[in-house]
Amino acid sequence: MNDMEIGADCGVAGVRRGRKLATGRVAAFLFRAGLLIAGFACGVGAPMGAKAQTIVRLRQKSPHFAVLRSLPELRAGDSVITYGFPLPGMLALEGNLTIGYVSALRGALDNPNYIQITTPIQPGSSGGALLDTSGHVIGVVAKRLNPGNSFQTAGEMPQLANFAVGLDMLRHFLNKNKIPLTERDSKQELRPADVGDQARLFSYSIRCVPNDAVFMTAVPAEIPNGTKPAAGVAYERAVLFEEDPANAWGRSFAGSVTWRVETLPPEAGRSPEMRLLGDIRIPGHVHAVLTIGRNSGADGQTNHRFEITFDTTESPHGDIVSAPGILMKLSERAQGIPIMVRTTPTRPGSFVLSGIEGHNQQNLKLLKERAWFDLPIVYRDGRRAIVALAKGTSGLRAFNEALID
């Protein structure tokens, strides 16, 4: 899943300011110019509301982007497919695919900016692409009729009465904002699963959060006081999140992590082994070194081995007595998915986390595809914390060099 966070008033780096977006989650999809449109489905055409549209520019270009349908003209009865992230926290994190039909070429109250569809829509789906069976965009998922209001008004509960912003309005918005678009004729009919595989690559889940809770991956790292940046060394972002009995949200402290590859002397008859090292510094709290290498399991397959050593001389909470695992996530504040490891303390403040046999492919997939590490820790005084580390550009390069065949 592609995941990111933006501030509720859109006033953060890389985001074009619009009017205020409500907090929550919306879906979005990527255009050729490296731009995402957040909140677009809620912001066109009366009478269904006029909230903001926020244009988000990705800092790293992706080769995967949405293509709009040129011909043939859309008709009632055409099959449609959605891919989005409904009911976050309840349903699958990797996205949901649903199938339906075009019911009508106009929306509620005969609104020409919308089309009516039978595809199920849940909270969190809005903003996602509505696709045809060629995988081309024919609209933007918007909303459904409110069952309670409809029952009070008409005495009936609406069924499969959902709406998407139409293609003409989408083109108009893109052209107005000078966003390049790619259009193609829909000639090839794909299986829904194949359309979903395509949509997954250019679909994003965007979390709109209050400004004081936003931590973008592009926020610069906090370089320790007195440290002179070394030539050619990239400082990526690291954050320590600690429990705080006086603050339900906890506290956070910014720092840095530098990534490098180390080559070990070869054993007899073997090639040199490389491992990845992360030097983690949270000024006034924690200094740690994370080492990631590979070893062969009893099943003959390669597993990953993590070793983390903490120096908590500056910490007010004492030594770190537990490091129960590692999670991989898509952004700084996203929910993580655990790497399957067993933890073994080796000496005070040091822990080895070994990949569990049979899970090596799952672990490698998470390590490759996720941009952030979470390292949960427990201090001697019982307080819990998480050290979050961004791969960043330098970490991604080092990771691929050291750990990917």
Q: What is the per-residue pLDDT for 230?
A: 55
Residue 76 sits in the same domain as residue 148: yes
Residue 182 sits in the same domain as residue 236: no
Cis, peptide link before residue 147, omega less than 30° from 0: no
Residue 76 sits in the same domain as residue 193: yes
Residue 244 sits in the same domain as residue 190: no
Round to whole Å and give the CA distance between 230 and 217.
21
pLDDT in tens, 343-363: 999 999 999 999 888 888 888
Residue 76 sits in the same domain as residue 188: yes
Domains in the chain, number: 2
- C-beta separation of 83 from 96 below 8 A: yes
Residue 191 sits in the same domain as residue 297: no
Residue 183 sits in the same domain as residue 239: no
Residue 188 sits in the same domain as residue 244: no
Residue 257 sits in the same domain as residue 192: no
Q: What is the per-residue pLDDT for 263?
A: 85
Q: What is the per-residue pLDDT for 320?
A: 94
Q: Tell me which of 209, 235, 266 is where a domain ends.
A: 209
Round to whole Å and give the CA distance between 342 and 297.
13
Give me the helix-helix angle, 392-403 and 360-369, nearest 10°.
150
CATH number where 191 lies? 2.40.10.10
pTM of the predicted structure, to 2 decimals: 0.49
3 state SS of 330: coil
Which parts of the chain register pLDDT below 50? 6-24, 42-52, 147-152, 209-220
Residue 185 sits in the same domain as residue 242: no
Round to whole Å and give the CA distance between 282 and 238.
7
Q: Give the count of alpha carbons within 13 A of 110, CB side only.
A: 0
* Short-list 241, 231, 247, CA closest to 282: 241
Q: What is the per-residue pLDDT for 175?
A: 86
Residue 219 sits in the same domain as residue 197: no
Q: Counting runs of H as helices and runs of E as strands, what totals does the chain give?
A: 5, 26
Q: What is the per-residue pLDDT for 150?
A: 45
Q: Tell me which of 160, 184, 209 is where a domain ends.
A: 209
- Non-local (6+) Cβ contacts of 324 within 8 A are 343, 376, 378
Residue 198 sits in the same domain as residue 236: no
Q: In terms of residue numbers, what domain contains 129?
A: 2-209
Q: Tell me which of 192, 209, 226 is where a domain ends.
A: 209
Q: What is the per-residue pLDDT for 322?
A: 94
